[in-house]
Amino acid sequence: MDDRSPWRGFLSALAVLAGLLGLASGSVALLGFAVGTAVLLALAFLSARRGLRGVEVRRSLPPSAFEDDLLTVDLVLENHAARPARFVEAGDVFGAGLADRQSVLEPGPLPPLHRRILSYRGFVARQWGLYTVGPLSVGSWDPLGLFFARRVLEHMEPFEVFPRAVEIGALAPQGGQSTLVPRDVTEAAAGQSLLFRGVREFQPGDDVRRIHWPATARRGVPMIREYERDLEPVFTLFLDLDRRGRAGLGRKSTLEHLVRTAASLLWTAHRRGDRFGLVAEQDRSVLVPPGQGEVHLAAALHRLVIARQTGTTPLLDLVDQHRELVPAGATAALLLGTTEVDLDRLSRTIEGLQATIARPLVVAIDSLSFTPVDRPPTPVAEVRERRRALEECLLGLDVPAAILGVDDTPEEVLVHPELFALGREATA
């Protein structure tokens, strides 16, 4: 709302003109009119400022949202003065929107010691990242609408915008059933939960840390603790933030593709009811242990929003270091930042996961197809050959997979149930 009233300027100019003419002509009427107009303007000015006394405003909004979301932000007006408040305007700055300045008018009266909730709708029009909301302001008009007084409250809040996530079709049949639907699997079985089941004789390949020493002493042969099978599906995302895969700028960058793809993978796992976690390495290790719920999802997405491709550890090394986060029956998603991968090592890693009855899923970003940042351009023939070799390797391993290039939009590619169909078309 514009706080500059045209009538204020007109009355001010009229009072000055009437005063000058009155002095020049000696007219008492003109002087009286000038003085009366000046008094009226002064009273209006004081009324606008007095209307702010005791009026406070605070904000209520969620700490985060997805791209393209439409939010309702509540501004709570409170009148701590001894007189009613009228014509109060609450203002806010929503940094994640295009029209960042928001104003809501409360004509009143707002009785003493009362509060009123005003709301505005904020459209998240900015790209994923960290933004702020604020500062808040509260203003008041005089009854004639001539003057507007404003007080700024330095009440700033951080606000996170998460990448727009889509449900990945190829991930739906992976892993176990959702924990939110009825299941017939109620029979006890051996597995890796925390519920103790019993002991049995040691077998080749068993973890020696699970040896039950009292039972071993009684039987005279090594005995192993056995636990109930954990029926709850687990999803672990291994995210490649190795700086060697860094390429492109802005919306056409490998980091953009990595973050958007990772967000959709985690969102899909959350929608399935899985316990999901995140493993990555940039300047320091990033580890979000398996968990469930919207709060846990927000914590994992926060790590994506602040992620940077500054790591030095290859993704396959991360998988080896954190293999314990992939129990039997879990889904392990490997999100590679480049097609420059040791294919023999990749094959051994995926076969090792399959040997533990885990379900691997691979998405690779073809960093060589992006504009290079700190390396000379790669010949087109080599780019195509590396992509073709990786595709053939993944097809031979029979795992759900996709390869995303610079012209691919992750949200559009990943919704297809058969991920690698697009990979073959792009290669051709």
Q: CA dist 386 to 342, 379, 380, 402, 414, Å?
A: 11, 11, 10, 14, 21
pLDDT in tens, 161-178: 999 998 887 665 544 433
Query: Do 143 and 215 belong together in one domain?
Result: no
Query: Do 270 and 414 belong together in one domain?
Result: yes
Query: Do 313 and 352 belong together in one domain?
Result: yes
Q: CATH code at 316?
A: 3.40.50.410
Q: CA dist 421 to 77, 264, 366, 417, Å?
A: 56, 19, 16, 9
Query: Do 280 and 352 belong together in one domain?
Result: yes
Query: Do 216 and 339 belong together in one domain?
Result: no
Mark 397-423 as b/e (b = at least 16 C-beta within 10 Å).
bebbbbbbbbebebbebbeeeebbebb
pLDDT at 348: 94
Query: If you average pLDDT over every residue of the chain, what do you get?
Result: 85
Q: CA dist 295 to 56, 63, 163, 291, 301, Å?
A: 31, 11, 16, 9, 10
Question: Domain for residue 209, yes or no?
Answer: yes
Spatial contact of 353 and 330, defined as CB atoms under 8 Å apart? no
- Rounded to 5 degrees, φ, ψ at 399 are -125, 145
Cβ neighbours around 181 below 10 Å, total: 8
Question: Domain for residue 130, yes or no?
Answer: yes
Query: Do 380 and 237 belong together in one domain?
Result: yes
Question: HEC states along 214-234?
Answer: HHHHHHCCCEEEEEECCCCCE
Decide which of 228, 244, 270 is a domain's last residue: 228
Query: Do 114 and 143 belong together in one domain?
Result: yes
Q: CATH code at 83?
A: 2.60.40.10
Question: Domain for residue 322, yes or no?
Answer: yes
Query: Do 418 and 274 belong together in one domain?
Result: yes
Question: Domain for residue 180, yes or no?
Answer: no
Query: Do 399 and 316 belong together in one domain?
Result: yes
Question: Domain for residue 189, yes or no?
Answer: no
pLDDT in tens, 308-343: 999 999 999 999 999 888 888 899 999 999 999 999
Query: Do 350 and 203 belong together in one domain?
Result: no
In angstroms, the CA 242 to CA 264 distance is 20
| The pLDDT of residue 197 is above 70 | no
pLDDT in tens, 246-303: 999 988 999 999 999 999 999 999 988 889 999 999 988 999 999 999 999 999 999 9
Q: What domain count does the chain have?
A: 4
Question: Domain for residue 191, yes or no?
Answer: no
Closest CA to 242 of 282, 270, 209: 282
Query: Do 275 and 304 belong together in one domain?
Result: yes
pLDDT in tens, 112-163: 999 999 999 989 999 999 999 989 999 988 888 888 888 998 888 999 999 9
Query: Do 98 and 44 belong together in one domain?
Result: no
Mark 80-105 as b/e (b = at least 16 C-beta within 10 Å).
ebeeebbbbbbbbebbbbeebebebe
- Widest Cα–Cα separation across the chain: 124
Question: Domain for residue 326, yes or no?
Answer: yes
pLDDT at 418: 60
Question: Domain for residue 181, yes or no?
Answer: no
Q: Average pLDDT, stretch 223-236?
A: 73
Tell me the percentage of the chain whose pLDDT exceeds 70.
88
Domain extent, residue 31, equals: 6-50
Q: CA dist 234 to 203, 290, 339, Å?
A: 26, 7, 27
Closest CA to 49 of 140, 144, 166, 184: 140
**Per the omega criterion (within 30 degrees of 0), is the bond before 182 cis?**
no
